[in-house]
Amino acid sequence: MSVPQQHDRFPYSPIVDRPTLRWPNGARVAVWLIPNIEHFLFDRPSTSITAATTGLVPDVLNYAWRDYGVRVGIWRMMEVMERHGFKGTVALNADVCTHYPRIIEAGNKLGWEWMGHGINNSILINEQDEREERALIADVVGRIAQGTGTRPRGWLGPALSESVRTLDILAENGIEYVGDWTNDDQPYRMNVASGSMHSMPYSVEINDIPAMLDLKQSPADFGQMIRDQFDVLYEDGKRTGRVMSICLHPFLIGHPHRSKYLDEALKHIASRQEVWITTGSEILDAYKAGTV
């Protein structure tokens, strides 16, 4: 598959030159929290807490560490989020609907939003040919719609992976926003062959995997990162509205010694007046209502 040197998905747009963006009720910052709820195949490596056993098949140590997320971690996350008024916009592997329907049931009761996140987190989107990719995306959208009762409006690629065709295929399948392009503090329109697509601000830094596994930040450091990110965006939001994403994985942040600091960070955000704690689709609808 040929990849162009440049893309034509969106033009350059410096934020200082854009019209003022206002959120509902005068909020300075729209905050959405994204639990990545995932299924991992037993016979291949993925996100790991230690490299000591990643060459083994199966790698029981790291597989079981990840499995904690759907067995225990997500339930602790739900308690913390509900305590502070946060609804999740879940990046959902379609396989979760098959293997962990109890999570879907609980998320629906909490009013969470479900967005597509591939089949599972062992299969990335990039190596498929066009026919395979079209079938994969249609399967994910259909299975999530059936499993959750709601057709997903948003999408996050597993490991933020895409091919040069992905955005067009997503739009054809009714997906309206995507989080893979982490290059802005506001939504923006993307060019697709048909239909409509917007980029929604997501983060590879206010994200527990890069922060704690790659950058070796402590749970306390990560909690402070969340608070610092919010505080600066809150000040920026005096001039024009901003979006803050909090990107989490229950097999990591859901452990007790880490969850404590998420609790403190969410309490800090919820204590401010001019903040909109919301979901991806609600941000998109508000943005589109205020723009052409």
CA-to-CA distance for 55 and 229, rounded, in angstroms?
A: 37
| 58: in domain | yes
pLDDT score at 4? 84
Terminal C-alpha separation, the chain: 34
| 7: in domain | no
The SS3 assignment for 69 reads: helix
Overall residue count recorded for the chain in this entry? 292
CA-to-CA distance for 40 and 133, rounded, in angstroms?
A: 19
CA-to-CA distance for 227 and 221, rounded, in angstroms?
A: 10
Give strand ranges (E) for 65-223. 89-92, 113-116, 154-155, 177-178, 188-190, 197-199
What's the CATH code of the domain at 227? 3.20.20.370
pLDDT score at 292? 41
Which of 276, 15, 35, 54 lies closest to 179 in space, CA to CA? 35
The CA-based dihedral angle spanning residues 119, 121, 127, 128, taken in that order and rounded to the nearest 10 degrees: -10
CA-to-CA distance for 251 and 49, rounded, in angstroms?
A: 10
Q: Do 275 and 27 touch, CB atoms closer than 8 A?
A: yes
pTM given for the model:
0.97
Per-residue pLDDT of the chain (292 residues; tens, 9 = 90+): 678 889 999 999 999 999 999 999 999 999 999 999 999 999 999 999 999 999 999 999 999 999 999 999 999 999 999 999 999 999 999 999 999 999 999 999 999 999 999 999 999 999 899 999 999 999 999 999 999 999 999 999 999 999 999 999 999 999 999 999 999 999 999 999 999 999 999 999 999 999 999 999 999 999 999 999 999 999 999 999 999 999 999 999 999 999 999 999 999 999 999 999 999 999 999 999 986 4
> What's the total number of domains in the chain?
1
Structural element, H or E, at residue 36? strand 29-37
| 274: in domain | yes
| 205: in domain | yes
User: 265: domain range?
Assistant: 21-289
CA-to-CA distance for 126 and 72, rounded, in angstroms?
A: 31
| 3: in domain | no
pLDDT score at 2? 75
pLDDT score at 16? 97
Q: Do 113 and 92 touch, CB atoms closer than 8 A?
A: no
Q: Helices (H), strands (E): how many in the chain?
A: 10, 9
| 8: in domain | no
